[in-house]
Amino acid sequence: MSLPPWKIHTSRYIVEDRWLTLRADRCETADGVFLDPYYVVETNDWVHIVAFDEHDRVVLVRQYRHGVQEICLEIPAGIVESDDSSVELAARRELLEETGYTAETFIDLGTLQPNSARQTNRFHTFLALGARKTHEPRPDPCERIIAEAVPVADLVARIQEGHFVQAIHISSIFLALLHRGLCTMQTSSNSAD
């Protein structure tokens, strides 16, 4: 059985600016159910950087996030700008801007979707190895960022204790830890009797 996509009968834009576009679609499912409006957020792709320094610590950032009105612990991340010639260069730029760190080795760990039900963008996860502070950070004018490097065990503990709650960043951390062999996936086989 195949799953057919919805039909889009009309689209209208509610918000269009440099940060995001909000679109309202009039959709029809394969079963003839209409969804009107169905809101979709259009925005640029993002990059996530899981950077390990020369002491095998992970570089993290703290910054105010207005959506939740809290100071949040995260990995360096940002928007792929229109003048970025590649997503890797966007990742390198964001790491330098937010933390002042550079790394020679960047490994592309793949691309995921933050919310495929409502958003059109993707995020690209990079593992940066041998990161070291080479410059002063250059955050955007609206950002105040504090960078810190922590051992993997401390990062995992912060996630487990609820001090690191950015869900899509946790998925990037998971991909990086898998790639480095710092966590493994085990499958269990449940046999039916």
Burial class (CB in 10 A: 0-12, 13-18, 19+), 90: buried
Average pLDDT in the chain: 94
Query: What are the extents of the domains in the chain?
Result: 7-42, 46-179
Contact in structure between 34 and 26 (CB atoms under 8 Å): yes
Q: Write down the pTM of the prediction.
A: 0.91
Report whether CATH 3.40.50.300 matches the domain 46-179.
no
List pLDDT tens digits, range 110-123: 999 999 999 999 99
3-state secondary structure of 73: strand
Specify the pLDDT at position 190: 55
Specify the pLDDT at position 139: 82
